Amino acid sequence: MPDLNKSVVKLSKRAYYLMGKRRYIEAEKVFQEAYALNAENAYILVGLGDLYRKLKNFQKAIQYYDLVLTIDPVNVFALRGLGNAYRGMKQPGESLIYWERYLQCNRYDTHVMVRMADTYKKMDKFQEAMSFYNKAIEIGGNDKYAYLGMGTLNYKLGEDDAALSCFEKYQVFDESNVAVLTMLGNIFQRRKQFDTASVYFKKTIEVDSDNVFALYGLGNCERGLGNFHAAIQLWCKVLEFEPENQNLYTRVGDACFSLDNLDESKAYYEKSLALGFDPYAHLGLSSIHIKNNALDEAERCCNLILEKLPSHSRALKEISRITTLREDGSAGPGGTGILAK
């Protein structure tokens, strides 16, 4: 028996070493050799569960973790592994059950607390999520993943001040997280602090040059600052990735109109309309027609909107403007563009 135990220990150590080196096929073979010698060794069973979980064979991982719990119902490695395996299978309810049991045995594991909070957040159970983020911070102090999760949750809930506070603390650990940089840019963009927002969008692009969210946001900031040429250049780059982004064609059309590039503006509005109905593209075309003293065409554009949206306030206002221009005989240069939402 001592020789058998010695062999099991040697094999299990070798298997864990191989798994640590990601030599999973070799590790599986050695784990199975050890398992054949002792099918009730919790250390080997947990190892097999961890191995199959890493290989994304979650069903098989669960089988081995369950065997551990028949031997040791409070084995923390099996409980945590089961939570992670069910997470891999996209069964959050099961994950939470095992993580709860795990925390009853290991009350100070902030990593699992954050994982539970993230799971609750995905389930739209925001109160529970916030509770576990707060617990992780209370116990672990400056836990960057807790700050990241809590910041993202506050951002989702529109609590921008709280989100900024969390992201500021998170950035002490990581200043290059693209998702965080983009959210920071969006917060300051919403506040019309375009210079500050631009800083974060530019930092995002430094890390990920083709990040469409940052390119789009930076374009919005350039437009907000009155830099229409720069906005157009950025938005056109987004359109290379998203050629069916109807709203963006209209935005580019609006920016071209602001620069008095009427032909380009018209082309972009038409590209938008080629993808479907867009009242703001029709309004943009109406403004172009007014500038060109083509009031009948302008009115036709507005009527196309009102056929679908009879109470559209901007279209009704534009019809009234066209009527006034007819009465005054003052159509021509001086019309204004209608920015797309």
Which is more confidently placed, 335 or 143?
Answer: 143
Give which of 29, 145, 122 is closest to 133, Cα–Cα: 145
Going from the C-alpha of 67 to that of each of 19, 142, 149, 197, 296, the distances in angstroms are: 20, 37, 33, 53, 79
Residue 140: predicted pLDDT:
82
Residue 180: predicted pLDDT:
98
Which is more confidently placed, 141 or 15?
Answer: 15
Fold of domain 1-107: 1.25.40
**Percentage of the residues of the chain whose pLDDT score is greater than 90:** 92
Lowest mean pLDDT among 2-11, 267-276, 286-295: 2-11
Residue 4: predicted pLDDT:
67
Give the count of alpha carbons within 13 A of 290, CB side only: 27
Residue range(s) in the chain whose domain bears CATH number 1.25.40.10: 1-107, 114-174, 176-243
Which pLDDT band, with edges at 50, 70 and 90, does 335 fall under?
very low
Q: Cα(322)–Cα(337) distance, rounded to whole angstroms?
A: 14
Decide if pLDDT at 251 tops 50. Answer: yes
Residue 38: predicted pLDDT:
93
pLDDT, mean of residues 147-154: 96
Architecture of the CATH domain 176-243? Alpha Horseshoe (1.25)
178-196 confidence digits (pLDDT tens): 999 999 999 999 999 999 9
DSSP secondary structure letter of residue 21: T
Q: Classify burial at 214, counting beta carbons within 10 Å of its beta carbon; exposed 0-12, middle 13-18, buried 19 or more.
A: buried
pLDDT, mean of residues 265-287: 98
DSSP states of 185-230: HHHHHHTT-HHHHHHHHHHHHHH-TT-HHHHHHHHHHHHHTT-HHH
Residue 126: predicted pLDDT:
97
Superfamily assignment of 114-174 in CATH?
Tetratricopeptide repeat domain (1.25.40.10)
pLDDT, mean of residues 134-155: 93
Going from the C-alpha of 277 to that of each of 128, 183, 251, 267, the distances in angstroms are: 42, 30, 15, 15
Residue 340: predicted pLDDT:
47
Residue 177: predicted pLDDT:
97
pTM of the model: 0.82
Residue 334: predicted pLDDT:
42
Q: Cα(70)–Cα(47) distance, rounded to whole angstroms?
A: 16
34-65 confidence digits (pLDDT tens): 999 999 999 999 999 999 999 999 999 999 99
Decide if pLDDT at 220 tops 50. Answer: yes
Q: Cα(120)–Cα(111) distance, rounded to whole angstroms?
A: 14
Decide if pLDDT at 337 tops 70. Answer: no
Residue 339: predicted pLDDT:
45
pLDDT, mean of residues 163-178: 96
* Token pair in block for residue 281: 């593209």
Decide if pLDDT at 333 tops 80. Answer: no
Q: Supply the mean pLDDT for the chain.
A: 94
Q: Cα(162)–Cα(253) distance, rounded to whole angstroms?
A: 36
Residue 331: predicted pLDDT:
52
Decide if pLDDT at 5 tops 50. Answer: yes
Decide if pLDDT at 115 tops 80. Answer: yes
Residue 338: predicted pLDDT:
46
Decide if pLDDT at 17 tops 60. Answer: yes
